[in-house]
Amino acid sequence: MRKADLYIRVSTDEQADKGYSQRDQEDRLRRYCEIKGIPVRDVYIEDHSAKSFKRPEWQKYLSNLRKTKNNKAGSIILFTKWDRFSRNAGDAYQMINQLRTHGVEPVAIEQPLDLTIPENKIMLAFYLASPEVENDRRALNVFHGMRRAKKEGRYMGTAPLGYINKITEGKKKFIAPHDFEAPLLKWAFEQIVSNNFNTEQIWKMVREKADGKGRFSKNNFWVAVRNPLYCGKIFIPPYKEEKGYFVKGQHEPLISEKTFADVQDILDGRKRIVKPKIVAMDNLPLRGFLKCPKCERMLTGSASKGKMGVYYNYYHCTSACGVRFKAETANEAFLKQLRYMSPKEGMIDVFIEAFIKDFNNKTKAQNTERANIIGEIDALNKRYQNALLKNADGEMADDDFQEVKKLTKGKIEVLERRLNDLAVVGTEIKDLVASTLKKVANIDRRYENGDIEEKRLIVSSMFPDFLEFDGTRHRTPRLNSAIALIYQNNSKLQGKKKGTSLSFLDLSQEVIPLGLEPRTPTLKVLCSTG
């Protein structure tokens, strides 16, 4: 006599824990077996999707079938409906054939079919295809819904590194900056732009700052620095004939679009600034900035252990030239020269006054051009408003109005682009220069009291090329143009003292004198130093 195995399936863990579907299916299957007089052998219950047959309990059932030697009478696998058996028509037909090789007949008690009758195969195809079509339709609806949400600027899914998932009072989901991760990630972007360390070192520094907290794995970090989400953009992937494009996100960006673009340029190698990318020990802040005076290689730094167990730090060359300097001597000489370069009291105010005066003269033409463009935009807007009123009063035909609208709007867009290209000269320029220069005025104290990162940032900002130490003082062929300008004027106020020249510029006698012209690059490097 044939025996029956009962197969019961639900789709989710929640249905299995809270729902009544499993118990209901089992009750109906057992009642069917009682009515038909079929003994029940095993019961298989699981909560996996029917998209494939890679389900634990189903695989267990197949394994038991293979172990059964005498199954000449055959057996039955019972389930309530065909969608409990499978939601994939192709896989279902293959599994039915596999069951038949073991003498097993699949039976859906609520959708009974005699598969020995050829016409019933049409109904079987319908029963199997219907749930598959339902799944595909549901998946397509979800896809289009998520795509529409993305087009509206909403981020879908688990919040990425630096953000956290939140829900508004109206049950609307959104992402917001993470209190702990966001500042660290923003700092990492700024470090990449400064280009003082390579990306691997920046990631390690972020990990140290995080101290085991956050999601700062190496993979997460590399994905983050390439993700335009952090500058407020969401990418809409291509679909069918629609090309991929970016939209403005509804979330709060961590960095500006310019910062993100600069980071991508650096990572892609299009914007390589020649700066050392070396993590130095606290006692070796000049490591990677010093050039060997004999073979012109860059000096490295290391610590040697003395007889008494005390460590001594040295800057030394890796070649056979044997150049070697005590780090303490080189560091003290650098700080001494830096103090000499610090502007005298009152020098900053003189420089600010001269800078602003010359800056206003140089930007007068630019301000005039901006005013002219704004006037043209106002005239075009008035023309459009007049045309709108005439059209509303019936004095202008719709076709003529649309032509006027097209021409005026096009010209306004061109003028607005030109206006955006012109830098806005605001009254805050004086405060910006003043605050920056006051930091430069205390550059020696900032260097002396700063941590290793700040020290290296100051050195890299002030000395674009390299330093050369001769055992007594440091020399360089070129200073940061803004620093050189301040230093030149400061030297005039201090006067010359015999035997006390501590200038960094003794290495080259071809330093180009700088005027007081406030060029944009000069302002940039000045701000960078500050």
pLDDT band, very low/low/confident/very high, at 195 (cuts 50, 70, 90): confident
CA–CA separation, 520 vs 526, rounded Å? 10
Q: What is the signed CA dihedral for 48, 49, 54, 56, rounded to 10 degrees?
A: 10
pLDDT over 90 (residue 184) = yes
pLDDT confidence band for 305 (50 / 70 / 90): confident
pLDDT tens per residue, range 494-525: 554 444 455 676 554 333 344 333 344 344 44
Q: Is the pTM above the cut of 0.75?
A: no
The confidence score (pLDDT) of residue 490 equals 59
User: Is residue 31 pLDDT above 50, yes or no?
Assistant: yes
What's the pLDDT at 59? 93
pLDDT digits (tens, 9 = 90+) for 71-105: 656 789 999 999 899 888 888 889 999 998 888 99
**Cα–Cα dist 516/245, whole Å:** 45
Handedness of CA 397, 401, 402, 403 (dihedral sign): positive
More confident residue, 435 or 469: 469
Q: Which is more confidently placed, 438 or 218?
A: 218
Reported as a pLDDT band with limits 50, 70 and 90, residue 371 is: confident
Span 102-127, pLDDT tens digits: 889 999 999 898 888 888 888 888 88
Q: Are 157 and 150 in contact, with CB atoms under 8 Å apart?
A: no
Across 235-263, average pLDDT:
90
CA nearest neighbour of 351 among 256, 245, 237, 482: 482
- CA–CA separation, 232 and 221 (whole Å): 18
For the residues 335-346, what does the mean pLDDT come to? 78
Confidence class for position 367, pLDDT limits 50, 70, 90: confident
Residue 522's pLDDT is 43
- Summarize the confidence of residues 322-349 as an average pLDDT: 83
Q: Which tokens in the block code for residue 486?
A: 């301040």
